[in-house]
Amino acid sequence: MFTENISRDGMLLRWEDASGRLPGAGEMLIVEVELPEREGFERRCIRCQTTVARVHAEPDAAVVWVGLRIHAMEFRVAQAAPVHREAVSQKGYGSRMF
C-alpha cells in the first residue's frame, strides 16, 4: 500500500494488492507512515489511529482506494518491521498497517 495523500484529518491509501484482505468501512486500523530519511537524524514515522471511511475499487482496476479518518497521530522513531508485517515505500514514503 502507498500513501497518496495525508492531512491532519484523513489519509488516502492506494492498495495495490487487492488479492489480499481489504479493510471494511468502519474498521479501526493503526497505520505507520514512514517519513523521508534525513542525514544525521533517526528514521521517523507518523503513527495514526484511524477508521476506514470508504473503500473504492474501480472495475477492472488492480488498485483499490482506501480512505481513512484519522483520530490521533504521533511522530515517533521508526522501528524495523517484524517478519509478519511488510513495510512498503515509494520515493522514501510508505505505510505499514497493524
> Where residue 66 falls among pLDDT bands split at 50, 70, 90?
very high
Q: Is residue 84 part of a domain?
A: no
Q: Is residue 30 one of the residues assigned to a domain? A: yes
Has residue 28 been placed in a domain?
A: yes
In the DSSP assignment, the letter for residue 36 is P
Q: Which residue range forms the structural domain that includes residue 18?
A: 2-78
**Residues 33-54: what's their mean pLDDT?**
90
What's the average model confidence in pLDDT over 72-92?
61
Residue 89 belongs to some domain of the structure: no
DSSP E strand boundaries for 16-80: 28-34, 44-57, 64-77
What is the pLDDT at residue 36? Answer: 86
Burial 72-98 (b: 16+ CB within 10 A, else e): ebeeeebeeeeeeeeebeeeeebbbbe
Which pTM value belongs to this model? 0.72
Share of the chain above pLDDT 90, in %: 42
| pLDDT score for 16 | 81
Q: What is the mean pLDDT of residues 50-76?
A: 91
Q: How many domains does the chain have?
A: 1
